[in-house]
Amino acid sequence: MQRRMFVSLIAAAAAMSFGAGAAHAADPVKIGFIVKQPEEPWFQDEWKFADQAAKEKGFTLVKIGAQSGDKVITAIDNLAAQKAQGFVICTPDVKLGPGIVAKAKADGLKMMTVDDRLVDGTGKPIESVPHMGISASKIGNQVGQALADEIKKRGWDMKEVGAIKVSFEQLPTAHDRTSGAVETLTAAGFPAANIIDAPQAKTDTENAFNAANIAITKNPQFKHWVAFGLNDEAALGATRAAEGRGFKADNMIAVGIGGSESAINEFKKPSATGFFGTVLISPKRHGYETSLDMYTWITEGKAPPPLTLTTGALMERGNYEEVRKQMGL
């Protein structure tokens, strides 16, 4: 009896020294989180919430920034060499889809995508890879509605308003977001001819600034401007370009998508800027939940849901703290 107790004590001590989660004690869980633009606050936030999941569950999170296809491939190889079992990725280019899937398979890693969904050679989403993204068209509709409401509130004549559509057509979620905004804006009576396409080369503030600058320069006929794009960086770039051309808060309404630090900093400025609002989306769901999904997949063999689309809520200068709190941020 005493001997048996001694043996089980030793077993318990051994299990403890390997850490919690005894079933995989010899094989610690390691998960990669690869993002395309690590400097962007949205991705910093995703990482922050992924870290929270890692802390709670006791796995190791490997955060990697990969701005090109080459870097993605190197990142996957590195993860395999470090004995990671899986990764979550927001790819720098969705067309890399088949290559990334093949690489993960060759290296024996589980993968799921976040934000930007991989496409195959014909441009169709790769449905075999679990994905969490935003409900892009609906959130675009919310942006368009916010713009239309504010134009009306200010009593502007829509004929005299230009709309900068900062576009990034090669990314399906970007296309869906801006199309949603256009749809709602025109349904509210905004003239389609006043929507000026401003294609950006990359989805950051600088490229949005350059794109918007050209749009404004080429269209001196407008008295007021509104702007939208796929994220806050697009709306901010357009805001800065408009400011440079003399269109400040009272003649510019930009609405972004995101609600991370770039937007908050803008709302915190002592006086209002042309960055009127943003549709807050959840970096917590996209960072915490995806990492947890991957952890469950690795430890219990239960694959994440094939497709999860998250929602957003409009927030403005006057209510951003409240709206963020409501979303648990």
What is the contact surface with ligand FCA in residues (CB under 6 A)? 40, 42, 90, 115-116, 134, 173, 203, 230-231, 257-258
Question: Least separation, in Å, of the C-beta of 81 and ligand FCA?
Answer: 27
Question: Least separation, in Å, of the C-beta of 311 and ligand FCA?
Answer: 12
Residue closer to ligand FCA by CB (options 79, 257) is 257
Residue closer to ligand FCA by CB (options 140, 258) is 258
Residue closer to ligand FCA by CB (options 36, 110) is 36
Nearest to 234 by CA among 192, 279, 287, 292: 279
165 Cβ contact partners less than 8 Å away, ≥ 6 residues apart: 178, 181, 182, 195, 196, 197, 198, 227, 228, 229
Question: Least separation, in Å, of the C-beta of 118 and ligand FCA?
Answer: 12
Alpha carbons 111 and 34: distance in angstroms, whole number = 11
Residue closer to ligand FCA by CB (options 84, 134) is 134
Question: Least separation, in Å, of the C-beta of 281 and ligand FCA?
Answer: 6
Residue nearest to ligand FCA (CB): 231
Strand segments (E) across 56-109: 60-65, 86-89
Residue closer to ligand FCA by CB (options 205, 251) is 205
Alpha carbons 150 and 17: distance in angstroms, whole number = 60
Alpha carbons 111 and 100: distance in angstroms, whole number = 9
Question: Least separation, in Å, of the C-beta of 187 and ligand FCA?
Answer: 24
Nearest to 48 by CA among 35, 67, 66, 36: 35
Residue closer to ligand FCA by CB (options 115, 194) is 115
Question: Least separation, in Å, of the C-beta of 93 and ligand FCA?
Answer: 11
Alpha carbons 275 and 118: distance in angstroms, whole number = 31
Q: Would you state the structure tokens that stand for residue 101, as one six-digit string?
A: 């899937």
Residue closer to ligand FCA by CB (options 180, 258) is 258
247 Cβ contact partners less than 8 Å away, ≥ 6 residues apart: 216, 224, 225, 274
β 195-199/161-167 pair status:
parallel
Residue closer to ligand FCA by CB (options 151, 254) is 254
Question: Least separation, in Å, of the C-beta of 70 and ligand FCA?
Answer: 19
Beta partners for residue 87, in sequence order = 32, 111
Question: Least separation, in Å, of the C-beta of 139 and ligand FCA?
Answer: 9
Strand segments (E) across the chain: 30-35, 60-65, 86-89, 110-114, 131-134, 161-167, 195-199, 224-228, 252-258, 275-280, 307-310, 313-316
Handedness of CA 36, 76, 46, 146 (dihedral sign): positive
